[in-house]
Structure formats: structure tokens, C-alpha cells
């Protein structure tokens, strides 16, 4: 089969001379619907506070002005935002962009060590933290050399002296404009960095993906054009994003899915964002009912809860007209259960990566339910190749690695030429995912050729955990693999060859074996974000390797599956109403 080209072309023009806030706040694009009634752009889930477009513009200006006045933030400086979603999160992003600077969002579950790494790689000059994340932020900032007075909090923290975003907004609005907003030359938006978003590779620590303004604009326009957001010929019944829609912004804005699809695309098409600060399942159900939420962007663990949690029956979910799952494959069984739960809802999956600036596929446009198990169809502007191991292109139904191109492809990895060369090939991205397409051009993701483990949609590189585990005195050798889990998709399992000293202790007292395993699990839990925590440790005599020393991870993945199927490996039951 030759290359697979998306339907729905040509795309509308994608401006390459404007920044993201200029595109969202200042100009109009033909793919964008014109709202005839004023509606809030954001609603704070907890307080119900509504924020309209004029207030967003003013707060963005005020924060940008204060960042310039206080710390001279300007062209290509980096500001890190650390914490869960907040109603001022988009204000912080756009204020940084108004100054020509770059945003790097960090996972709020990070340890101080992990955040310090991100601050160091990006050379961040200011850190904006959620109030609940402040202790970790301060510890990481101290280690990374970010001055105390450059750690800002979204909301006031009792006893803390850190300036708040609200105080900076007021300060900036009370002063004359101190900055000149960059005006990009034609073509400059294709290279001008907007985000440094972290993505894990198969080896080493997470890498910073360089995302230009143009890539975000391109993906927003691709999706808007594909769904016909401004197509006046569509009846209200067929319009998936009609005026007055509300999306529950559960997915984190630091993650590419939440950043581009939930935040920027939904605001572009006139959907109100209901913004929670953390995920709690029953609160999610209550918010759907209370705010009459129409759109949900979820990941598979959330879908599992929707399908199986007994609390669902207590809430009215009839307002939901579209549900999309992404970040990891959703099984056909769960898709069918969703369809039974929400019979009048559009349901489908999308596929994308940080390296493609999120979505390259989207749920089918012509029917409420895509083919069960499918990851959607290509967005206009995208071209796919399915490459078999011998380098030839696969036919319909044949499996191979997905190699993709499109207008939203990013620029590579920051200061990592080797990794960039492995993944980015003349405008194409090697995804590392084994896929196939059916006759309707729907994609099905089969497995990962790359060795990443995906836990609740988050990428866990085995090599990172293996490197950390080898620092434990009881670990002689180790291989980490993903073991299937209904809730999380996969969980990390460590096959460990005990060190000589550990083996000697275990032989003297068999009770030492479990204590040693517990200590190894604790060693990871104390230093890594929660989704990287080990589900279990299995002792093994030797790690299988090929003659060149490469780990034969597939053998141990198969062994882990057999252990689980036989009942000899029992995974812990994790708290499943909160992520």
C-alpha cells in the first residue's frame, strides 16, 4: 500500500507570522466560528467563577508586564509552570508568549529531583507553582539555582512570602507597558519556540521537545477544519462543537493532549473550559451534572471508572454529547461499554504524540461511534506510512511502524542531536508504534516497537528506572518491563538479579526476600513520580541479553504476562478514583 493521505484537504491557511496568544486573543481565522452571544471562556470548577475574554486579555497583559518589570523576562527566556490545572494557567502561558519567551510545563507529581532536572535542562529563569506544589518547587528551585524571589504561586500560601500571580497581574496593570510584543516575520512562527514539553524516550531521561508556535496553530486549525467547526451547512445535530458547549478540562495542561486539544483547540472553537485543579472521580461526575458539560476528553483509566464505578448511576450525564479518549489505546470492549452508558454521545479515539504536537488522528466525522478499538482517521494535512521490518510499506491490514508527517511536526529535541536524528527524519516522525490501517483509513495501534511503558497515558522509559535501580546495593542486574493492567494500561515490573550480598542474606533467612523486594520498590517510590513506581519486583537468576549485551526485553514481557495469567504475579490494587 502506498502512503496514506488524509481526506478533507485542502487545509485553510496556517499563519506563520503570529504567536499563539495573538492567534487566540487578537486575530480572527476563517476556521473559527463567530460567537453571537457572550459566554465565559473559563469557569473555575471549585468556586464557579466565570472569566470572559476581556478579563483574560487584561490578566495576560498584566502578568506579562510584571514579568518584564521584575525580572526582564524576554526573548527565548524560559518560564516553567509547575502544578495542576488552574484558571490562570492559560494566562501564565500567554503572558510568557507575549514577551517572546518559552513555556515549559512540569508534572505536578514530580519529585524535587525530577523538577530540578527539568529546570536545569531548560535553564528556566522563573518558576510559577501551584500553591499545593510549593514545597517541592522551592526545593527544586534551590537545587537548580532559581532564586527564591522568582518562585511565583498561583494562589496565596499562608506563611509563604512568595508573590502570587494575582499580585503580579495587579502590579502589571498598574504600570505603563514596559515590553514590546514580538511581531514575527513571515515564516518565523515555524521556528520560534513556544513550548519545551518533556517526552520520554527509550533510553536515558526525559527529553525536551521543541514546539514552535506554528505547530500549535497548525494542529488547532487541522482539528477545527476537520470537524467543520465553522461549517454553517452542518445541522446542529451534526455539529460536534456548537455554541454554548462546555468541556471539563480534566487533562493536565502541561501534557500535550491537555495543552493543545483541551485548552487551545476548545477555546478556538468557542467552547467554555470548566477547569478543575485536580482529578477526583465523583467530583468529575458532579461537575458534569452541575455545569451541564457537553464534552469530555479523557484517558483510558478515566473511561474504566466511567464504565465500572458504582457512583456513576447517581449522576445525570445526559448533557455529554462527545467523549474522546487519547494518550493510550482504548480497547473495543471499553468502547462498547461506553456506548451503552452514553447511547446518544459521539465516542471515539485520537492518536498523537508530543513530537507531533498532539493529534494526527481524530474520531470519524460521519458516525457517532468509530470502529471499536480504532484510534481514528488521519487529520487533514497528515500523511502516514506503515513501514514493515524489511523497509517496505505495509498493505491494508498489515502491521508495521507508523511514520507520520504533517504541518504540526515539532523541531526535535533540545540539545540532543542523536535522539533527534533517531526520531525525526526530513519532516517525518518515527512513532515507534506498531499499527495497521483498515479500508476506511482508520488506524489501529497494536503495540509499541519502542520500549516505553505507558502508565495511565504517561510514558515511562524502562532505562530510566533501570539506571536508578542499579544504584541500589541489593540490585546486581535489572530489566524493567510493562505488565498489562486493566486500569492503568500497563504497570512497571522489575526483574532483578540480586547482588551477591543480598543473595547471601536471602539464603540465610527466606523472610529477607520479601523485605528486600519491598526495599527496592521503596527506592523507586522515594525518587520517582507516582506513575513510575514499581508494581512489583521479581527475582531472576540472569537477565536475558543478546551477544552484544542488549536486553531481550520481549522475553521478560512474555514471562511477566504468563506469571500474571497463572496467578503467580498479583499486582497491587491502586486507588482508582483519583489519579
Q: Tell me: the pLDDT tens digits for 66-85? A: 999 999 999 999 999 999 99
Instruction: State yes or no: pLDDT of 576 exceeds 70.
Output: no
- Report the alpha-carbon distance of residue 206 to residue 210 in Å, rounded: 13
pLDDT value, residue 315:
97
C-alpha torsion 368→403→211→133, nearest 10? 70
What number is the average pLDDT over the span 574-578? Answer: 46
Q: Where are the domains of the chain?
A: 4-15+199-448, 53-183, 454-566
> What's the pLDDT band for 19 if we cut at 50, 70, 90?
very high
Instruction: State yes or no: pLDDT of 330 exceeds 80.
Output: no
Q: Tell me: the pLDDT tens digits for 515-543? A: 999 999 999 999 999 999 999 999 999 98
pLDDT value, residue 458:
85
What number is the average pLDDT over the span 383-392? Answer: 94
Q: Output DSSP code: residue 499.
A: -
> What's the pLDDT band for 578 if we cut at 50, 70, 90?
very low
Please indicate whether the domains covering 4-15+199-448 and 454-566 agree at the CATH topology level: no
What number is the average pLDDT over the span 207-225? Answer: 97
DSSP sequence for 561-577 = HHHHHHTSS-------S
- By the 8 A CB rule, do 73 and 96 touch? yes
pLDDT value, residue 573:
63
Stronger pLDDT, 336 or 110, i.e. the higher one: 110
pLDDT value, residue 9:
86
E strand or H helix that includes residue 169: helix 165-173
Q: Tell me: the pLDDT tens digits for 133-187? A: 999 999 999 999 999 999 999 999 999 999 999 999 999 999 999 999 999 999 9
pLDDT value, residue 186:
98
Instruction: State yes or no: pLDDT of 432 exceeds 60.
Output: yes
- Report the alpha-carbon distance of residue 515 to residue 533 in Å, rounded: 17
**Phi, psi (deg, nearest 5) at residue 473:** -65, -20
Q: Tell me: the pLDDT tens digits for 262-297? A: 999 999 999 999 999 988 999 999 999 999 999 999
Residue with C-alpha cell 522509559?
461
**Phi, psi (deg, nearest 5) at residue 166:** -60, -40
Q: Which CATH superfamily is domain 4-15+199-448 in?
A: ANL, N-terminal domain (3.40.50.12780)
pLDDT value, residue 579:
40
> What's the pLDDT band for 549 if we cut at 50, 70, 90?
low
Instruction: State yes or no: pLDDT of 126 exceeds 80.
Output: yes
Please name the CATH architecture into which domain 53-183 falls: 3-Layer(aba) Sandwich (3.40)
Q: Tell me: the pLDDT tens digits for 341-356? A: 999 999 999 999 999 9
Mean pLDDT across the chain: 92
Using alpha carbons, select from 517, 516, 473, 496 the residue that is nearest to residue 560: 496
Q: Tell me: the pLDDT tens digits for 447-464? A: 777 777 889 888 788 878
Q: Tell me: the pLDDT tens digits for 83-112? A: 999 999 999 999 999 999 999 999 998 999
Show Cβ contacts of residue 207 under 8 Å, excluding neighbours closer than 6 positions.
198, 199, 200, 201, 413, 414, 416, 419
- Report the alpha-carbon distance of residue 202 to residue 460 in Å, rounded: 9
In the chain, pLDDT over 90 holds for what percent of residues? Answer: 73
pLDDT value, residue 181:
97
Show Cβ contacts of residue 369 under 8 Å, excluding neighbours closer than 6 positions.
335, 339, 346, 347, 348
- By the 8 A CB rule, do 393 and 2 touch? yes
Mapping DSSP onto H, E and C, the string for 42-72 reads: EEECCCCCEECHHHHHHHHHHHHHHHHHHHC
- Report the alpha-carbon distance of residue 484 to residue 560 in Å, rounded: 9
Using alpha carbons, select from 90, 108, 103 the residue that is nearest to residue 264: 90
Stronger pLDDT, 440 or 288, i.e. the higher one: 288
pLDDT value, residue 200:
63
C-alpha cell at 248: 471539563
pLDDT value, residue 548:
43
Instruction: State yes or no: pLDDT of 229 exceeds 70.
Output: yes
Cis peptide bond upstream of 10, omega within 30: yes
In the chain, pLDDT over 70 holds for what percent of residues? Answer: 96
pLDDT value, residue 550:
58
Stronger pLDDT, 428 or 577, i.e. the higher one: 428
Using alpha carbons, select from 138, 130, 139, 140 the residue that is nearest to residue 84: 130
Q: Helix, strand, or coil here: 272? A: strand
Show Cβ contacts of residue 34 under 8 Å, excluding neighbours closer than 6 positions.
28, 230
- Give Rg (Cα) of the chain: 24
Please name the CATH architecture into which domain 454-566 falls: 2-Layer Sandwich (3.30)
Instruction: State yes or no: pLDDT of 311 exceeds 50.
Output: yes
Amino acid at each position: 500500500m502506498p502512503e496514506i493521505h488524509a481526506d478533507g484537504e485542502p487545509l485553510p491557511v496556517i499563519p506563520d507570522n503570529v504567536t499563539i496568544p495573538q492567534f487566540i486573543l487578537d486575530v480572527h481565522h476563517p476556521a473559527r466560528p463567530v460567537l453571537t452571544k457572550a459566554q465565559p471562556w473559563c469557569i473555575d470548577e471549585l468556586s464557579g467563577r466565570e472569566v470572559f475574554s476581556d478579563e483574560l486579555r487584561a490578566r495576560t497583559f498584566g502578568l506579562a508586564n510584571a514579568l518584564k518589570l521584575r525580572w526582564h523576562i524576554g526573548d527565548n527566556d524560559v518560564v516553567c509552570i509547575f502544578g495542576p490545572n488552574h484558571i490562570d494557567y492559560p494566562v501564565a502561558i500567554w503572558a510568557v508568549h507575549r514577551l517572546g519567551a518559552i513555556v515549559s510545563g512540569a508534572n505536578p507529581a514530580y519529585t524535587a529531583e525530577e523538577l530540578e532536572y527539568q529546570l536545569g535542562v531548560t535553564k528556566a529563569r522563573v518558576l510559577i507553582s501551584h500553591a499545593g506544589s510549593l514545597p517541592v518547587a522551592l526545593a527544586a528551585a534551590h537545587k537548580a539555582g532559581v532564586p527564591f524571589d522568582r518562585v511565583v504561586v498561583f494562589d496565596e500560601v499562608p506563611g509563604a512570602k512568595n508573590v502570587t500571580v494575582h499580585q503580579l497581574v495587579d502590579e502589571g496593570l498598574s504600570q505603563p507597558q514596559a515590553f514590546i510584543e514580538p511581531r514575527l516575520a513571515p515564516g518565523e512562527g515555524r521556528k520560534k519556540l513556544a513550548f519545551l514539553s518533556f517526552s520520554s524516550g527509550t533510553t536515558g531521561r526525559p527529553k525536551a521537545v521543541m514546539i514552535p508556535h506554528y505547530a500549535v496553530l497548525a494542529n488547532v486549525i487541522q482539528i477545527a477544519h476537520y470537524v467543520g467547526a465553522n461549517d454553517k451547512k452542518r445541522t446542529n445535530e451534526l455539529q460536534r462543537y456548537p455554541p454554548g458547549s462546555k468541556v471539563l478540562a480534566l487533562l493536565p495542561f502541561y501534557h500535550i493532549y491537555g495543552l493543545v486539544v483541551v485548552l487551545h483547540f476548545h477555546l478556538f472553537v468557542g467552547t467554555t473550559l470548566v477547569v478543575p485543579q485536580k482529578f477526583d472521580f465523583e467530583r468529575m461526575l458532579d461537575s458534569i451534572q452541575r455545569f451541564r458539560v457537553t464534552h469530555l476528553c479523557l484517558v483510558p483509566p478515566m473511561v474504566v471508572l466511567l464504565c465500572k464505578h458504582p457512583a456513576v448511576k447517581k449522576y445525570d450525564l445526559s448533557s455529554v454529547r462527545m467523549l474522546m479518549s487519547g494518550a493510550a489505546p482504548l480497547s473495543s470492549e471499553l468502547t462498547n461499554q461506553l456506548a451503552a452508558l452514553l447511547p446518544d454521545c459521539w465516542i471515539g479515539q485520537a492518536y498523537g504524540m508530543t513530537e507531533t504536537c498532539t493529534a494526527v488522528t481524530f474520531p470519524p466525522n460521519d458516525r457517532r461511534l468509530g470502529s471499536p478499538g480504532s484510534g481514528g482517521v488521519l487529520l487533514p494535512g497528515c500523511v502516514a506510512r506503515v513501514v514493515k521490518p524489511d523497509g517496505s510499506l505495509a498493505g491494508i491490514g498489515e502491521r508495521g511502524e507508523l511514520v507520520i508527517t504533517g504541518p504540526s511536526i515539532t523541531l526535535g529535541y533540545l540539545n540532543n542531536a542523536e535522539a533527534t536524528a533517531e526520531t525525526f527524519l526530513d519532516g517525518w516522525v518515527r512513532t515507534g508504534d506498531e499499527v495497521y490501517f483498515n479500508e476506511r483509513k482508520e488506524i489501529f495501534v497494536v503495540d509499541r516497537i519502542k520500549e516505553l511503558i505507558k502508565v495511565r497515558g504517561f510514558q515511562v522509559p524502562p532505562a530510566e528506572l533501570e539506571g536508578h535501580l542499579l544504584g541500589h546495593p541489593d540490585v546486581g542486574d535489572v530489566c524493567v518491563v510493562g505488565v498489562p493492567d486493566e486500569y492503568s494500561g500497563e504497570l512497571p515490573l522489575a526483574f532483578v538479579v540480586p547482588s551477591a550480598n543480598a543473595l547471601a542474606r536471602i539464603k540465610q533467612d527466606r523472610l529477607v526476600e520479601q523485605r528486600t523486594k519491598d526495599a527496592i520498590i521503596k527506592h523507586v517510590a522515594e525518587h520517582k513520580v507516582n506513575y513510575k513506581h514499581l508494581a512489583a519486583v521479581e527475582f531472576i537468576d540472569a537477565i536475558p541479553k543478546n551477544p552484544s549485551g542488549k536486553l531481550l526485553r520481549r522475553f521478560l514481557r512474555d514471562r511477566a504476562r504468563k506469571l500474571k495469567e497463572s496467578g503467580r504475579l498479583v499486582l497491587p490494587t491502586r486507588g482508582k478514583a483519583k489519579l
